[in-house]
């Protein structure tokens, strides 16, 4: 089985249903995969006031960089699968014209 590194957004993705994502993270890690939280925030969430991400999940903040993929790579994470409510923030998008 190939190891997958999931890039999970925080705001309006993880926070939309924290219990669901905590179960997902636990299952993914039990199967040998990894999860990194990549958020467009400049600073990590305040877990005293906001839903807590499991301690086993590193958090990467884009710090104003336009794309999450670049911030994750700069932090040493080569994400295979992205989970994000705003996929346009992951990397520049190409519009394909199939003549439709």
Per residue in 14-61, pLDDT (tens digit) is: 999 999 999 999 999 999 999 999 999 999 999 999 999 999 999 999
Q: How far apart are CA 9 and CA 18, in angstroms?
A: 11
Q: What is the pLDDT of residue 99?
A: 53
Q: Could you count the other beta carbons within 10 Å of the beta carbon of residue 66?
A: 11
pTM (2 d.p.): 0.90
- 74: helix, strand or coil: helix
Residue 92 has pLDDT above 90, yes or no: no
Q: How far apart are CA 37 and CA 86, in angstroms?
A: 14
Higher pLDDT, 66 or 16: 16
Of the pLDDT bands very low, low, confident and very high (cuts 50, 70, 90), residue 95 is low
Q: Could you count the other beta carbons within 10 Å of the beta carbon of residue 11?
A: 15
Q: How far apart are CA 12 and CA 9, in angstroms?
A: 8
């Amino acid at each position: 089985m190939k190891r997958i590194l999931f890039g999970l957004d925080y705001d309006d993705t993880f926070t939309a249903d924290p219990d669901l994502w905590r179960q997902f993270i636990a299952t993914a890690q039990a199967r040998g995969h990894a999860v990194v939280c990549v958020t467009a925030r400049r600073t990590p969430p305040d877990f005293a006031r906001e839903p807590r991400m499991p301690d086993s999940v590193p958090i990467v903040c884009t710090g104003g960089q336009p794309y999450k993929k670049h911030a994750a790579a700069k932090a040493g994470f080569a994400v295979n699968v992205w989970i994000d409510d705003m996929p346009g923030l992951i990397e520049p998008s190409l519009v394909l014209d199939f003549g439709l």
